[in-house]
Amino acid sequence: MQPSSFPNVTVLDHPLVRHKLTRLRQVETSTAGFRRLTREISLLMAYEATRDMKLEDVEIETPLEPMTGQLLSGKKLCFVSILRAGNGILDGMLDLVPAARVGHLGLYRDPATLEPVEYYIKLPEDMGERLCIVVDPMLATGHSAAAAVTKLKQAGARQIVFVCLLSVPEGLRAFTAAHPDVKVVTAAIDRELDDHGYIRPGLGDAGDRLFGTK
């Protein structure tokens, strides 16, 4: 874990994450390779995103003797994917926690204003009783991420973590100003946004690279 200059932001600097992220950024990485690497990185990031989940003691029998073990307590977990690119991270997270509930939130960024526009939302019940992990590959302007978290809070979510592959200082400032109570887990903080709202050096359009579109 690498400390960040932003409150509540954790940058993962594990050698495997750095290695896979570098491969992910390369322009020659194929669609299949991009999907695989995104899935692998997201699985590693899930460990940090779920670090604060509550446990409870349970009495069990091993093949040799009784013991006190620990299991996750209460209503557990919900992943919320910001469509469409968030699904690339969602797959890896579900590999680790296949029983988690899943929500989807459709947002797109207006190319003129760079503001988020909502077109779809479907969430599990009892959001207030779950750790809600929001996934989207990029935290660029921060507006879509902040809008997504606002929607989740309106639906009752109280424990929220935002997970992304890449972020930039501009987006982190906007997001943490809107939601100072929400933890952010990212694999890297890149240099800046360009005039079109793209992260530099970045990795291109994550949705297009995941799904082979332009």
- Determine whether the annotation assigns residue 104 to a binding site: no
Residue 16 host element (H or E): helix 15-25
Q: How far apart are CA 78 and CA 128, in angstroms?
A: 10
User: Out of 62, 109, 200, 209, which one is annotated catalytic?
Assistant: 109
- Determine whether the annotation assigns residue 136 to a binding site: yes
Active site residue 205: yes
User: Out of 18, 36, 91, 205, which one is annotated catalytic?
Assistant: 205
- Determine whether the annotation assigns residue 143 to a binding site: yes
User: Out of 57, 68, 113, 195, which one is annotated catalytic?
Assistant: 113
Sign of the alpha-carbon dihedral angle for 111, 119, 35, 17 = positive
- Determine whether the annotation assigns residue 140 to a binding site: yes
Active site residue 113: yes
- Determine whether the annotation assigns residue 103 to a binding site: no
- Determine whether the annotation assigns residue 139 to a binding site: yes
- Determine whether the annotation assigns residue 141 to a binding site: yes
For 212: left if phi > 0, alpha if psi spans -120 to 50, otherwise beta; the answer is left
- Determine whether the annotation assigns residue 199 to a binding site: yes
Active site residue 57: no
E-strand ranges in 27-99 read 55-61, 66-72, 77-83
- Determine whether the annotation assigns residue 25 to a binding site: no
- Determine whether the annotation assigns residue 158 to a binding site: no
- Answer for the pair 77, 46: CB distance below 8 angstroms, yes or no: no
Structure tokens at 127: 């959001």
Angle at 145 between CA 31 and CA 25, to 5 degrees: 30
DSSP-derived letter for residue 125 is S
- Determine whether the annotation assigns residue 121 to a binding site: no
- Determine whether the annotation assigns residue 32 to a binding site: no
Number of other residues whose CB lies within 10 A of the CB of residue 205: 15
- Answer for the pair 186, 135: CB distance below 8 angstroms, yes or no: no
- Determine whether the annotation assigns residue 114 to a binding site: no
User: Out of 195, 208, 209, 213, which one is annotated catalytic?
Assistant: 208
Active site residue 195: no
Instruction: Spell out the alpha helix ranges (H) of 69-123.
Output: 86-96
Q: What residues form the annotated binding site?
A: 84, 109, 136-144, 199, 204-206
Q: What residues form the annotated binding site for uracil?
A: 199, 204-206
Q: What residues form the annotated binding site for 5-phospho-alpha-D-ribose 1-diphosphate?
A: 84, 109, 136-144, 205
Give catalytic residues, as residue numbers: 109, 113, 205, 208
